[in-house]
Amino acid sequence: MKVLIVYKSYHHMNTEKIAQAMAEEIGADITSVENIGSYDAKSYDVIGFGSGIYAWQYHKALTNAIEGIDVIPGQKAFSFCTYGKKIDKFEKIMGELLKSKGFDVIGHFGREAFDTFGPLKLVGGINKGRPNEQDLEDAKKFIRDVVGS
Ligand SMILES: Cc1cc2nc3c(=O)[nH]c(=O)nc-3n(C[C@H](O)[C@H](O)[C@H](O)COP(=O)(O)O)c2cc1C
């Protein structure tokens, strides 16, 4: 199974840690979204897309890249994200975007992660130390389950 993991991460590189754990677990190719053009997306059996959540949305660089991507109808995709506080919308909005592009959506992984945005900085942030070892183990289990290796 040929898998590509595409991510955007900048606040505390939380999403990058999740992306790297997933990629290492199954030997997937991995790229920050800025370099997606170096990869032939159509040649992958599965593509995973993830970013932090910023103002209740995935990073625009990630959603723009998905909108511009050339997909084989029915190609498999999954999403992942990290956030300060979970709301159900995170899975839904990305699922809808991927489906609108013709992807067959096979899963979603989300985790709380270190967040010092705005006033949270004044209290030292929330979710300190996350993603932690358990979060990374959960990410590895997730990708084994969805990709099946
Ligand atoms: C500008 C900004 C806006 C954010 N907005 C939200 C938000 O609306 N909801 C939320 O749960 N977390 C929010 N966060 C927290 C991030 O989603 C969280 O820290 C995430 O793990 C960052 O991922 P990254 O380190 O991969 O960039 C925000 C963080 C930043 C920097």
Residue 84 Cα distances to 7, 28, 87, 96, 126, angstroms? 17, 27, 10, 22, 7
Q: How confident is the model at residue 69 (pLDDT cuts 50, 70, 90)?
A: very high
Residue nearest to atom 28 of ligand 1 (CA): 54
Kindly tell me if the per-residue pLDDT of 33 is higher than 60. Answer: yes
Q: How confident is the model at residue 149 (pLDDT cuts 50, 70, 90)?
A: low
Q: What is the CATH number of the domain that holds 98?
A: 3.40.50.360
Percent above pLDDT 90 for the chain:
96
Once rounded to an integer, what is the mean pLDDT over residues 100-125? 95
Does the Cβ of 39 fall within 6 Å of ligand 1? no
Ligand 1 pocket mutation, candidates 11, 22, 126, criterion most atoms within 8 A of CB: 11
Kindly tell me if the per-residue pLDDT of 78 is higher than 90. Answer: yes
Domains held by the chain: number: 1
**From the alpha carbon of 113, which atom of ligand 1 is closest?**
21
The predicted structure's pLDDT at residue 105: 98
Does the Cβ of 127 fall within 6 Å of ligand 1? no
The predicted structure's pLDDT at residue 123: 87
Does the Cβ of 15 fall within 6 Å of ligand 1? yes
Domain that holds residue 7: 3-147
Q: What share of the chain is helix, strand, coil (3-state, %, to 5)?
A: 45, 25, 30
39-58 pLDDT, tens digit per residue, is 999 999 999 999 999 999 99
Average pLDDT, the chain: 96
Once rounded to an integer, what is the mean pLDDT over residues 17-28? 98
Once rounded to an integer, what is the mean pLDDT over residues 1-28? 98
The predicted structure's pLDDT at residue 148: 80
Once rounded to an integer, what is the mean pLDDT over residues 72-85? 97
**From the alpha carbon of 16, which atom of ligand 1 is closest?**
26
Residue 122 Cα distances to 13, 49, 119, 146, 148, angstroms? 20, 31, 5, 39, 43
Does the Cβ of 54 fall within 6 Å of ligand 1? yes
Q: How confident is the model at residue 68 (pLDDT cuts 50, 70, 90)?
A: very high
**Distance between Cα 52 and ligand 1 center (Å):** 5
